[in-house]
Amino acid sequence: MYDEAMPEQAESWWSRRAVLTVSAAALLLYGSTAAPGLTWAHFGADGGDLLAAAVTNGVPHPPGYPLYILLLQGWLGLGRALLPLEPAQFGTLLSVLCAGLSAGLTVATAAHLLRGHLLASRQAAPWIRPLWAALAGLAWMAAPLVWSQAIITEVYALHMLLAAAIGWATLTGRGRLLAPALGLGLAHHVTSVLLWPAVLLWLWQQPGARLARIGRILGAALLIGGVFYLRIPWAAAAAPPVNWGYADTFDGFWWLVSGQAYRGYLFGVPPADLLGRAASWAQVIAAQFTPLGLGVALAGLADWDRHWPRLRTFSLLWVVPVSVYSITYHTVDSQIYLLPVIWMAALWFANGLAVGVDWLQRIRAAFLPGVTPPARMLALAALVATGLIGVAALRLPEMSLRHDRAAQDFLTQAAATLEPNSLVISRSDAQTFALWYGVWGSDALDGVPGLVLINDALYHFDWYRRLLADLYPQVPGIGGPFNDLLRANAALRPIFLAEPLTDLPGAHRAAGPFWRLEP
């Protein structure tokens, strides 16, 4: 029989160790499987754009990610003073760090919530609830979508860290930290506002809740987030080579931060495809913890529904807006927006483990007869941990990017193929952003001076033609009609295509990873 009046200090001690252990395990897993440099894997083509923007103090693609760029710039400055690595390697290490910290916050949040579990009094040993929380952190750590974004240069590792911080600050009652967490989330990724309804309802349902206090939290969050966006027009005014929207005017700023370029994707899924998208959503969620793990998580949610309806409502209000956004956002990588949903499912998973063990205790489980309850629980925890490690090992060959060099090989071949003063035309994100990184973010293409980089998919934007005119004033026809630009430069400089754009006039001759345009 366990002492139900044990000191909270002992459980807090175990919780802190669980947080540190899982964070260290996540850092080890992600660090050992991270991409060695620039990568296109795991929807990571934007990495070249982000890195080039950070190095040149520029503005990346909408909505501009002001918090991430400032962090990346500081991280690059610190890293270069300590280690002789490429910017892309430092960018990946930043993702590794953010993802590792998110695993620790997951454990801390789960451990806090398990203390309020109505059935947990039978599991009163101080290490038990932190143990279930640690297993939930391991499940989050090894989830494929989480893992994929932890090992590349992208914005989503920081996004999931901030989402975890918002959830942790809300559910553990850290009111003073909630406004900064909400504000930083807004300053990084605007989809974090989809989490605000759940947070505001939770605050409103607190005993003695006051509208004025909630208003202060919301106002402070908006102020904190808004301050970071002041970086965008300030940086844009200096005309850096990466300058989406040329946001030194209000129109350019609003085009950028409101995501007008992507507005057609929002609720852009045809009605006939919604059922298939919903099925894909369910498949992605089930794949994170395996169907068995998802069943445990749903058992945890069902327990909240019976015994903690306020927490059930919070979690559903957290999950539903993000899920609807992901299902109806018409892009191939919209599943990435489900990271906050997976985080909430990890909390369900922790509660589901507690529910399952409590059930085994009540029916005096037949396995391991004669063994004391703590030993049975340790055996169960070891079984779950073994399963999680086994699943991670099975996923390792698919997830690991240690040997991924496709983007780096492209830049190496580009340096060997392109000629000085070439006009290089690209359309897709992967090749475009890799070239931007090679010219402005690193020294990969320093041996090919005078390159003129043009993305013809952006050329119809006024801001982009203005930017090109600033960057390449010596190029005839720059900023004018695209075909006139090609004709004006056909006899002056080599013209290379990063992909076979058959809608452009002239013959195409393969040249390394490029096609040489011969008008």
Which residues does 422 contact at the CB level (< 8 Å), separation at least 6?
A: 448, 450, 451, 452, 493, 494, 495, 496
d(CA 519, CA 84): 44
Are residues 342 and 411 located together in one domain of the fold? no
The number of CA neighbours under 13 Å toward the Cβ of 126 is 13
What are residue 321's DSSP bridge partners? Answer: none
Whether 358 and 466 map to the same domain: the answer is no
Residue of 476, 501, 471, 498 whose CA lies nearest to 486: 476
3 in a structural domain: no
Say what the pLDDT of residue 11 is.
Answer: 83
Q: Are 348 and 113 in contact (CB under 8 A)?
A: no
Q: Is the same domain home to 392 and 417?
A: no
In a domain, 489, yes or no: yes
pLDDT number for residue 5: 46
Domain boundary among 349, 382, 399: 399
What is the extent of the structural domain holding 338? 8-399
372 and 339 fall within a common domain: yes
Residue 406: Cβ within 10 Å count: 13
* CA separation for the pair 304, 344 (Å, rounded): 13
At a CB cut-off of 8 Å and minimum separation 6, what does 24 contact? 100
In a domain, 2, yes or no: no
Residue 333 lies in a domain: yes
Please give the pLDDT value at position 378. Answer: 81
Question: How many CB atoms are closer than 10 A to CB 365?
Answer: 15
In whole angstroms, give the CA distance from residue 340 to residue 345: 9
pLDDT of amino acid 362? 65
296 and 187 share one domain? yes
CB-neighbour burial class of residue 432 (10 A; exposed 0-12, middle 13-18, buried 19+): buried
Q: How far apart are CA 412 and CA 473, in angstroms?
A: 28
For CA atoms 16, 110, 26, 149, the dihedral sign is negative
Can you tell me whether residue 363 is helix, strand or coil? coil
In-domain check, residue 309: yes
Asked whether residue 189 falls in the same domain as residue 282, the answer is: yes
Q: What does the DSSP assignment read for 501-518?
A: -TTSSSEEEEETTEEEEE
Q: What is the pLDDT along the chain (519 residues), one digit of tens a residue?
A: 334 445 578 888 889 999 999 999 999 999 999 999 999 999 999 999 999 999 999 999 999 999 999 999 999 999 989 989 999 999 999 999 999 999 999 999 999 999 866 444 444 578 888 999 999 999 999 999 999 999 999 999 999 999 999 999 999 999 899 999 999 999 999 999 999 999 999 999 988 878 888 999 999 999 999 999 999 999 999 999 999 999 999 999 999 999 998 989 988 999 999 999 999 999 999 999 999 999 999 999 999 999 999 999 999 999 999 999 999 999 999 999 999 999 999 999 999 998 888 777 666 545 545 445 677 778 788 889 999 999 999 999 999 999 999 999 999 999 999 999 999 999 999 999 999 999 999 999 999 999 999 999 999 999 999 999 999 999 999 999 998 999 999 999 999 999 887 777 777 889 999 999 886
Residue 226 in domain: yes
Asked whether residue 304 falls in the same domain as residue 373, the answer is yes
Same domain, 482 and 342: no
Q: Are residues 192 and 235 part of one domain?
A: yes
pTM over 0.85: yes
Residue 183 shares a structural domain with residue 276: yes
Q: Phi and psi at residue 92, in whole multiples of 5°?
A: -70, -40
211 found inside a domain = yes
Rounded distance between C-alpha atoms, residue 44 and residue 146, angstroms? 13
Nearest to 30 by CA among 190, 142, 127: 142
| Number of CB atoms found within 10 A of residue 509's CB | 11
Does any domain span residue 461? yes
Same domain, 244 and 354: yes
Provide the token pair at 238. Answer: 């200096």
